[in-house]
Each structure stands twice: as C-alpha cells, then as structure tokens.
Structure 1
C-alpha cells in the first residue's frame, strides 16, 4: 500500500493500536495488523493451527499469533500511498520484516505497561491481559523482549501519543 512501508512493534500495552489510530486520524495509511492480518498458525509454515487439547493457554495463543504473509506482501506491493504503517505484533515477523523500509519499536517502562493493560481490561475484561496467565506471559515477554524485532528504531512510547507519532513520522521521513 505504500511506496515506503514501516512496521510498528512493541510489547503489550506499548501503544501500537493507539499509534495506528493516530496515524489514520492524520490521514496516513495504517494497518491494524492484530485485527486485519492476524490468525493462529504455525510461525514456520504459516499453516493455520489449533491447540491439541482443550482451551488454548495464553502462551500457546502468543506463540501462534501470526500475520498472513501473502496479505502483507500484497499491501507492500501496492504503491498507491506514500507510506504505509503496519502496527501490531506477530510471531512470524521474520518471514516479512525484510519487506519494510524501517521498523519502529515502541518502548515503555513496566509501570506504564501495567497501567495501560489495567485500563484496557477495565474497559473490556476479555481483552488480553485480563487473566492471570496472560499477565504472567506479558511480564515474561516484557522482560525478555523475545517477540519484538531486534535492531528497530526505539521510540519512547511513554510520551503523549501525538508526540510518539510525530517522532515516528520524523524518523520515517
């Protein structure tokens, strides 16, 4: 969708959705990857998958949250927009990260992350982070950053959303 394409990543609560909404508000092409591209699948093969037994655990859900690579490729191939921003997290980002002109990693401190997750769960108790096992997983992923691409441009996402997006747009220019 864009002549230039960017991935915006970060831990749970970092502000990926808020950045996407703000970019759209400003008239930019922004894709909610966690809504428009996501499905549960094998990160290596891309084949859809289901848990082997019963209700999936938070860890299983996280490890199998992947984006449709063909859809990402199609969006990137469409050169109608000057820039397109792909916002969200996937466990198969290695399959398409080379398609992007840049990667921005939203970074926050632990207190900010927990406060933001508390706020969204207060609005919707079924949102990710509302269950104890989800919070344990979020804390582990925050500590390890294992599901965030390495080498991206770090953005301080504790700032007001307008400033966060200003910084992304400045660095993307």
Structure 2
C-alpha cells in the first residue's frame, strides 16, 4: 500500500479505531486491521480456530505482506491489535503504541456497547484488558509511545508528524 508503512498498536480502548477513522478522514491510506485483516487463529501457525478469544485474534500475515509490497501510496497506516504481530512487525518502517491511563481506559470501556469487546457486562474481557494495560505483555516493545488521552486530532497530528520525522533512508 505505502512506500512507508506504519503499525498503530495498543490495548483495547486506547483509540486505534478512532485513529484509523481520523487518518482516513484526512485522506491518508489507513487500514483497519481488526476489520480487514483479523481472524481467529493460532498465533504461531495461522491455522484458523473457532470461538472468540483474545489469544487467537491474529492478522493474516500473507495479506499484510501483500499490502506492504504494493507501494501505490506514499504512506499507509495499519491500525489494530494482533497476537501475531511478531510475524510481520519487521515489515513496518515504524510502530506507534497508543497509551492511556487506567481511568481513561475504564471510562472508554464503560462507553462501549455490551456487544463490543470489553463492553459493559463483559467482566472477564475487561479484567484481561486491565491486566494487559498493567503488564504491556501484548504490545510491541520497539514502538514510539503516543499519549492517546488527548483529543483524537492531537493524537493523529503526533503520529503524522513522527511518521514524517522518522522516514527511513531507503527512499
């Protein structure tokens, strides 16, 4: 998709979907990975599994590779979380990790509908999200941290600015 490709990661509730929508609104090529690339599968083998679990929320590695190889855009942002990001993270020119404090996270989760991951009444999912917030165990370690507690326009401004400042030398 892009000559430069960036991954935007973060735990549930940090704003990945909102960032994707705002990037698209501004005319950037942005892929909503949780909707366009994700499925339930084994993080190591990619074999499809059935039932919805956090541990099996993965992206189609071949699709990611194909999208990165197509360089029709100057920059593409891949937004979303994946338990198999280690299988394709090296394809990206940079990684942004959205972070929020626990109060902001809980408020955002409270605003989710019941049928959405971590929404009202989904106690087990919410407990997992809070644990992941504390441990950072599902987040790429090499990412640039973005304060996602500020208004979405400021979050996207920071991502766009940093993506321009951190252009790889291969251009």
Please classify the TM superposition score into its range, dividing by the shorter chain length: over 0.9
Q: How does 1:158-173 map to 2 (within 5 A)?
A: 158-173=149-164
Which whole-Å CA distance do the structure 2 matches of 1:71 and 1:114 have between them?
33
Name the Cα RMSD after superposition: 0.9
Deviations 1:75-132 (A, max 9, x none): 1011000000000000000000000000000010000011011112xxx210011311
**d(CA) in 1 for partners of 2:142 and 2:5?**
16
1:89 matched residue in structure 2: 81
2:115 maps to which residue? 126
| Greater CA drift, 17-26 or 144-153 | 144-153
Aligned to 1:115: 107
Task: Tell me, yes or no, if structure 1 residue 80 matches structure 2 residue 69.
Answer: no
Please identify, of 95-104 and 134-143, the stretch whose mean Cα deviation from structure 2 is larger.
134-143
Partners in 2 of 1:146 and 1:41 — Cα distance?
A: 19
Instruction: Please name the residue that 1:138 is paired with.
Output: 129
Q: Which runs of 5+ in 2 are unaligned?
A: 165-171
Q: Any gaps of 5 or more consecutive residues in structure 1?
A: none
| Partner Cα distance (1:111, 1:10) in 2 | 16
Structure 1 CA distance for aligned equivalents of residues 54 and 9 of structure 2: 14
Q: How many residues align?
A: 162
Q: What is the distance in 1 between the residues matched to 2:5 and 2:104?
A: 28
Aligned to 1:157: 148
Structure 1 runs of 4+ aligned residues shifted over 6 Å read none
Report the TM-score when normalising by structure 2: 0.93
